[in-house]
C-alpha cells in the first residue's frame, strides 16, 4: 500500500526479488558462528586505480553474485535534470564496441545468469548472478561498460519513452506513489532527497544524449565504484580477475566531491492532502526527518531501528495492535526507520482507515501510539524481542548471497566501512531501554514531520472547488 | 503582519520607500492625458554591446532616477549556493579601481543623492536618485562597478556577517517570516522560487569569494542588463551618456540562458504549521500557485489582479468585510495576487484570528469567501470599482518618478516588453465579469495551494512531544 520511492529498479529482462534497503537490510550481518562455508568477514582492498573491492566467500554452491556500485545517485543530479541517474542506468544496457546494443542482458541470460540494476538517491548499482565459471565473463563485460558505453540519439529517444512509461505506471497511476513523492518534496526543503529518483516528468522529457554522456563520463570511473563479489570464490581469484578487467580502466582524476545542499533545521510541521478518485481507502502517512547511520550520534540509529521495529513492524507492533486489533480503526498500519541514506534518514508511520473510520480518528490513534512511546518508553521485553528478531533476520539473511553482497555494497557506497557493517550486531546489543525513549523524544517531533493524507473522492469531484486543504473538511 | 519574502533589500546607507512589486505596481502606467510634462511612453533602444536602455522623460523637477537591472536573481543560483545573488548585491557596494572600498554610497550622498539596491528571484537592481547634473557621475560609477568590481577575502568575510545578521533579524526572529519561507518551500516542489532570496543559513555561511566572483563574472555584463533613466532628461542625452559609459563595457558572449527546472503540475494540497512562542495571534495564510503576467493565458493575469483586489485588498474587500467587520473573527485579513514573476505567480490570502477565535474558524470563513467568488462570481459594481481603483493608482503613481522607473525595469527584466507595460490599461479594460469567475475557479483550487498556520504556544511547550501536525489539535 505504502510506497517508498527511494529506489527505482530498472526494467531489465530479468527481474529480481529485491529486498528493501530500509531498516536492517543494509546493516545486518551474519555472526561468525552461524553458518559453515561462509567467511564471517568480508575482505576489502583497493585496486591501483582507486576502485574498491569487497569479497565475501560463500562456498555452498558454485555460484557468484557480482555487483558494481557507483557512488552517484539521483541526489547528485543538477537542477532540471532530475531522473538522469536512473535514465543512465537504463542506458547502460545499450552497447559498447564489444557488446552490440541491447545484447548485455541476453549474453548473461544465454550463460545461465540473471542481471539487473537499480538507482537510489545515493547510488547506482549493477549486478549479475552467474555460475562461478562465468565470473570472468561478467567482470569483463561490466568493466567494459564502465568506460566504453556507446550511445546513439536513437537509444536515448527509445529509452526515454521507457522511463516516461515507468513513471506513468509506477507513480502517476498510483495515488499513494504520488502522495509519497509530494511528501518527500515537502520533507526536504533544500536537500535533493526531496526530488524523486525517477525524475519530474517535465525534466525527464528533456533528458538528452549530452546529459547522459556528461553524467556518465564524470561519475562512471573505477575510483567512483565498488566491486562486490559474493560466492564460491576466494580473495586471490577475485583480485587477479579485478586487476585484469576493472584494473585496466583509467580513473577520473577530475572527479569532484559531490556538493549537495544541506537540509535546513526543520521549522514547521507540514501536511500534504491528495484527493484522488483512484484511491481505495483513506490513508494517513507520516514521515519524520531523522539521522541516518552515517549522520546519527553514536547508538542513535541502532536505537531508531529497534524503536521502529517495536512501534511499527508486523502484526505484533504497537501500531498494529492498537489500530487494527484493538480499536479496529485500520485495516493495515505500521512504521519503519530508513537509516541507509548518506545525508539523512527518515522515520515513517502509516495507517489505512478501516471502513467508514474518519481519517482524523486514525491519525489520532497513530499519534497516541507515538506519544506514548515518547512519554513512557517501551518495555524490556519488547526491546529484547525486537533485538532477537533482528539477530534471527541476520541468520536467515545468510541464505541469500545477493543480500549479503548488498549489505556491504550499500554501506560502502554511502561512505560507510566494512567495520561499520561488521560491528553492527555488537552495537545493537549495547542499546538500552532509555536509548529508545530518548530517540523517540528527540525525533518524533512534529516540526520534523510531514503528514500525508490520501482521500478517495468521487470521480466528478476531482479538480473542483476552492477549499481548505484540511483533511477534516472533506 | 504577513511577509512576502520575494524581494530582499540591501541595507545600504539610504533606505528607500519601496513599493511592493506585487499586483499592479509592476504594470500600471500613466495614460497619456493625465499629466503634463511626463512623456506618456517610454523610449527603448539598445546599445551595441546588447544593453537595453529605457528613457522616461519627466521634466517636473531637475532630478533623475537612474536604475540598472540585471536579469539574474536568486532563482538562478546553483544548489547549495542559495543567497549568492543577494550577497553579491551587497558586495557591489565594495570598491573598484576608481572607487575605494565602501565609498560608492558615500560619493552618491556627498553629491546630494540617495542610492540602494535590491535582489529578487528574477532580478538584481541598483538605483540612485540624484539631481540632473549628477547623472553623468552615477552612470560612470554604475558602469564601472558592472565590470570592475574588486573584492578581497576581507570584504567577503565582513559582508557575510552582515547578510547572516540580516537573515537573523528578518527571518529567524520573526515567526511569520519563517512560516512564509516554509510555505514557499512547500509551494514549489521543484522550481527554485521555493528557495528564499536571502538564502538558507547553512548555505550562506559557506558563500565565499570564488562563489561571488563566479556569479559576478557570468551575470554582470551589459548584455544581461537594462538601464532605466527616468527624469529631467531627453532620449538623446541619455543615449550619448550611455554610449560613453556602459557602451564601453564588453558583453559576456558566453552568457548562458538560465535553465531553471520547471514546476511539476500541482498534485496535492499542502499545509505548514508553525508553533512559536514568539507569535502574537494565531494566523492563517494560504498561497495558490497561479500564472504570472508572463506565463498566463491572455487576460488571465489582468483578471487575477482585479479578482484579488475585490477579494482581498483593503477594508472594503470581501475577505475583510466578512471576517473583520461582519463576523469579527479576525483583526486583520486580506489577499493579493503576485503576477510579476518570470516563471510563475501566486495568489495569497490571510487572516489574523481575533481574540480567542480558533484558527480553524478563521480558515473556514476564508474558504467561504473564496468558494463564494468561484461559485457565484463578483458583481459588476465591484469589478468597476476595482478597475477604477487601479486607474486612480496609475495617476497617483505618476507622482513617483522611481515608481515609474521600476514599472519598466521590472517588466523588462523578466522578459516583458515596453508594449506589455503600455498596453496594460487597455487590457485591463477588456476584462469582463465572467473572466474573474473563470480564473477564480481555475486557480483557487486546493491542490494548487499551501496553507500556513502560525500558532502561538507557551515558551515551555516549544520542541515538545510527538504529535500530529494538524492545527486542530493544538
**pLDDT digit string, tens, across residues B100-152:** 998 999 999 999 999 999 999 999 999 999 999 999 999 999 999 999 999 99
**pLDDT digit string, tens, across residues B79-98:** 999 999 999 999 999 999 99
Residue A13 has pLDDT above 50, yes or no: no
- Please spell the DSSP secondary structure of B367-416, one letter per residue: HHHHHHHHHH---HHHHHHHHHHHHHHHHHHTT-HHHHHHHHHHHHHTT-
Smallest CA-to-CA distance from A30 within A465, A407, A376, A338 is with A407
Give CA–CA dist A45/A107, Å, rounded.
29
Nearest to A189 among B182, B271, B370 (CB): B182
Give CA–CA dist B450/B157, Å, rounded.
37
Mean pLDDT of B384-400: 83
Q: How far is A260 from chain B (nearest CA, A)?
A: 6
Which of B289 and A59 is assigned the larger pLDDT? B289
Least confident window among A150-164, B186-200, B256-270: B256-270
Catalytic residue among A77, A89, A166, A302: A89
Contact: A469, B271; criterion CB under 8 Å: yes
pLDDT of residue A159: 96
Contacts of residue B426, Cβ cutoff 8 Å, sequence gap at least 6? none
Contact list in A for residue B201 (CB cut-off 8 A) is: 264
Nearest to A446 among B186, B375, B466 (CB): B466
pLDDT of residue B308: 98
Give CA–CA dist B127/B118, Å, rounded.
9
Q: How far is B11 from chain A (nearest CA, A)?
A: 24
What percentage of chain A carries pLDDT values higher than 90? 80
- Please spell the DSSP secondary structure of B14-36, one letter per residue: S------SSGGGGT----TTS-T
- Please spell the DSSP secondary structure of A276-328, one letter per residue: ETT--S-EEEEEEEE--TTTSPTTHHHHHHHHHHHHHSSTTSHHHIIIIIIS-
Contact: A189, B194; criterion CB under 8 Å: yes
What percentage of chain B carries pLDDT values higher than 90? 80
pLDDT classification of A35: cutoffs 50, 70, 90? very low
pLDDT classification of A430: cutoffs 50, 70, 90? very high
Contact: B271, A470; criterion CB under 8 Å: yes
Contact: B371, A275; criterion CB under 8 Å: no
pLDDT of residue B40: 55
Nearest to A200 among B80, B190, B363 (CB): B190
State the CATH architecture for B7-248: 2-Layer Sandwich (3.30)
pLDDT of residue A391: 83
Give CA–CA dist B74/B219, Å, rounded.
12
pLDDT classification of B185: cutoffs 50, 70, 90? very high
Give CA–CA dist A349/A326, Å, rounded.
18
DSSP state of A260: P
pLDDT classification of A41: cutoffs 50, 70, 90? confident
pLDDT of residue A423: 87
Contact: B467, A271; criterion CB under 8 Å: no
Residue of B nearest to A464 (CA): B445
Contact list in B for residue A189 (CB cut-off 8 A) is: 182, 185-186, 194, 200
Q: How far is A459 from chain B (nearest CA, A)?
A: 15
Residue of B nearest to A361 (CA): B468
Contacts of residue B338, Cβ cutoff 8 Å, sequence gap at least 6? B4, B6, B21, B22, B23, B292, B345, B346, B347, B348
Look up cell 495569497; give the residue. B348
Q: What's the grid cell of residue B97? A: 579601481
Q: What's the grid cell of residue B265? A: 503540475
Q: Would you call B382 a catalytic residue per the annotation?
A: no
Contact list in A for residue B441 (CB cut-off 8 A) is: 466
**Topology of the domain comprising B270-473:** Cytochrome Bc1 Complex; Chain A, domain 1 (3.30.830)
pLDDT of residue B464: 52
Mean pLDDT of B350-363: 96
Mean pLDDT of B290-319: 97
pLDDT of residue B393: 83
Contact: B445, A451; criterion CB under 8 Å: no
Mean pLDDT of A379-403: 86
Mean pLDDT of A247-272: 92
Give CA–CA dist B314/B91, Å, rounded.
38
Mean pLDDT of chain A: 88
Contact: A271, B271; criterion CB under 8 Å: yes
pLDDT of residue A398: 66
Cβ-based contacts under 8 A for chains A and B:
204
Which of A401 and B348 is assigned the larger pLDDT? B348
Q: How far is B403 from chain A (nearest CA, A)?
A: 34
Mean pLDDT of A330-357: 96
Please tell me the number of Cα atoms within 13 Å of B228 on its side-chain side.
28
Contact list in B for residue A448 (CB cut-off 8 A) is: none
pLDDT of residue A463: 54
Mean pLDDT of chain B: 88
Q: How far is B367 from chain A (nearest CA, A)?
A: 5
Least confident window among A147-151, A152-156, B58-62: B58-62
Residue B276 has pLDDT above 70, yes or no: yes
**pLDDT digit string, tens, across residues A281-292:** 999 999 999 999
Which of A258 and A32 is assigned the larger pLDDT? A258
Contact list in B for residue A447 (CB cut-off 8 A) is: 274-275, 463
Least confident window among A223-227, A259-263, A470-474, B404-408: A470-474
**Which residue in B468, B471, B472, B474 has the most chain A C-beta atoms within 10 A of its own C-beta, making it the best mutation to test that interface?**
B468
Contact: B260, A79; criterion CB under 8 Å: yes
pLDDT of residue A332: 95
Mean pLDDT of A172-190: 95
Contact list in A for residue B192 (CB cut-off 8 A) is: 79
Contact: A468, B371; criterion CB under 8 Å: no
Phi, psi of B65 (to 5 degrees): -110, 125
pLDDT of residue B398: 66
Contact: B272, A268; criterion CB under 8 Å: yes
Contact: B271, A270; criterion CB under 8 Å: yes
ipTM of this complex: 0.76
Residue B269 has pLDDT above 70, yes or no: yes
Contact list in B for residue A441 (CB cut-off 8 A) is: 466
Residue B283 has pLDDT above 60, yes or no: yes
Please state, in angstroms and as integers, the Cα–Cα distance from residue A333 to each residue in A311, A329, A348, B72, following that order. 10, 10, 11, 48
Mean pLDDT of A176-205: 96
Residue A466 has pLDDT above 70, yes or no: no
Q: How far is A86 from chain B (nearest CA, A)?
A: 18
Mean pLDDT of A123-145: 97
pLDDT of residue A472: 38
Give CA–CA dist B125/B142, Å, rounded.
11
Contact: A269, B270; criterion CB under 8 Å: no
Residue A371 has pLDDT above 90, yes or no: yes
Residue B466 has pLDDT above 60, yes or no: no
Least confident window among A55-59, A263-267, A424-428, A469-473: A469-473
Residue spans of alpha helices (H) in B75-119: 84-91, 104-110
What percentage of chain A carries pLDDT values higher than 70? 88
Nearest to B469 among A79, A446, A464 (CB): A446
Contact list in B for residue A466 (CB cut-off 8 A) is: 367, 370-371, 374, 440-441, 444-446
Q: Where are the domains of chain B?
A: 7-248, 270-473
Which of B356 and A7 is assigned the larger pLDDT? B356
Contacts of residue A138, Cβ cutoff 8 Å, sequence gap at least 6? A66, A108, A113, A115, A128, A130
Residues B142, B146, B149, CA angle at the centre, nearest 5°?
105
Contact list in B for residue A79 (CB cut-off 8 A) is: 78-79, 190, 192, 259-261
The predicted model scores a pTM of 0.83
Contact: B261, A472; criterion CB under 8 Å: no
**Which residue in B200, B210, B269, B361 has the most chain A C-beta atoms within 10 A of its own C-beta, making it the best mutation to test that interface?**
B269
pLDDT of residue B192: 96
CA-based end-to-end distance of chain A: 22
Q: Report, in this order, helix, strand and coil percent for chain B, each rounded to 5.
A: 45, 20, 35
pLDDT of residue B13: 30
Nearest to A270 among B260, B261, B270 (CB): B270
Smallest CA-to-CA distance from B263 within A167, A202, A172, A196 is with A202
Amino acid at each position: 500500500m505504502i510506497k517508498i520511492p527511494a529506489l527505482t529498479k530498472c526494467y531489465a529482462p530479468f527481474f529480481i526479488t529485491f529486498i528493501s534497503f530500509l531498516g536492517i537490510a543494509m546493516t545486518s550481518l551474519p555472526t561468525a558462528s552461524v553458518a559453515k562455508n561462509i567467511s564471517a568477514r568480508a575482505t576489502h582492498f583497493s585496486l591501483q586505480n582507486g576502485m574498491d573491492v569487497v569479497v565475501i566467500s560463500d562456498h555452498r554452491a558454485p555460484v557468484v553474485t557480482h555487483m558494481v556500485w557507483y557512488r552517484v545517485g539521483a541526489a547528485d543530479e543538477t537542477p532540471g535534470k532530475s531522473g538522469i541517474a536512473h535514465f543512465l542506468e537504463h542506458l547502460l544496457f545499450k552497447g559498447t564496441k564489444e557488446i552490440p546494443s541491447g545484447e548485455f542482458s541476453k549474453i548473461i541470460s544465454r550463460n545461465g545468469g540473471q542481471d539487473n540494476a537499480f538507482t537510489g538517491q545515493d547510488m547506482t548499482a549493477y549486478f549479475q548472478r552467474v555460475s562461478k565459471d562465468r565470473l570472468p565473463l561478467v567482470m569483463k563485460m561490466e568493466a567494459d561498460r564502465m568506460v566504453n558505453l556507446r550511445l546513439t540519439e536513437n537509444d536515448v529517444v527509445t529509452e526515454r519513452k521507457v522511463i516516461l512509461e515507468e513513471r506513468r505506471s509506477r507513480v502517476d497511476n498510483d495515488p499513494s506513489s504520488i502522495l509519497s513523492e509530494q511528501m518527500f518534496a515537502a520533507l526536504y526543503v533544500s536537500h535533493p532527497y526531496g526530488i524523486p529518483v525517477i525524475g519530474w516528468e517535465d525534466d525527464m522529457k528533456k533528458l538528452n544524449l549530452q546529459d547522459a554522456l556528461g553524467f556518465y563520463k564524470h561519475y562512471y570511473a573505477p575510483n567512483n565504484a565498488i566491486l562486490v563479489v559474493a560466492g564460491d570464490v576466494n580473495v586471490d581469484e577475485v583480485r587477479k580477475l579485478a586487476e585484469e578487467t576493472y584494473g585496466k580502466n583509467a580513473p577520473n582524476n577530475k572527479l569532484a566531491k559531490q556538493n549537495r545542499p544541506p537540509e535546513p533545521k526543520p521549522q514547521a510541521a507540514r501536511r500534504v492532502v491528495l484527493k484522488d478518485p483512484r484511491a481505495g481507502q483513506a490513508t494517513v502517512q507520516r514521515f519524520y526527518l531523522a539521522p541516518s547511520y552515517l549522520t546519527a550520534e553514536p547508538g542513535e540509529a541502532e536505537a531508531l531501528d529497534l524503536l521502529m521495529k517495536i512501534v511499527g513492524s508486523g502484526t505484533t507492533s504497537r501500531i498494529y495492535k492498537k489500530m487494527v486489533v484493538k480499536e479496529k480503526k485500520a485495516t493495515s498500519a505500521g512504521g519503519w526507520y530508513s537509516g541507509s541514506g548518506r545525508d539523512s534518514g527518515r522515520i515513517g508511520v502509516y495507517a489505512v482507515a478501516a471502513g467508514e473510520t474518519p481519517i482524523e480518528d486514525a491519525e489520532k490513534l497513530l499519534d497516541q501510539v507515538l506519544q506514548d512511546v515518547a512519554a513512557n518508553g517501551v518495555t524490556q521485553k519488547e526491546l529484547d524481542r525486537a533485538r532477537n528478531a533482528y539477530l534471527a533476520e541476520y541468520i536467515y539473511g545468510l541464505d541469500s548471497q545477493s543480500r549479503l553482497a548488498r549489505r556491504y555494497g550499500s554501506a560502502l557506497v554511502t561512505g560507510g566501512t566494512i567495520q561499520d557493517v561488521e560491528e553492527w550486531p555488537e552495537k545493537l546489543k549495547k542499546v538500552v531501554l532509555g536509548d529508545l525513549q530518548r530517540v523517540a523524544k528527540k525525533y518524533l517531533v512534529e516540526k520534523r514531520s510531514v503528514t500525508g493524507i490520501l482521500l478517495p473522492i468521487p470521480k466528478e469531484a476531482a479538480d473542483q472547488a476552492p477549499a481548505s486543504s484540511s483533511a477534516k473538511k472533506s
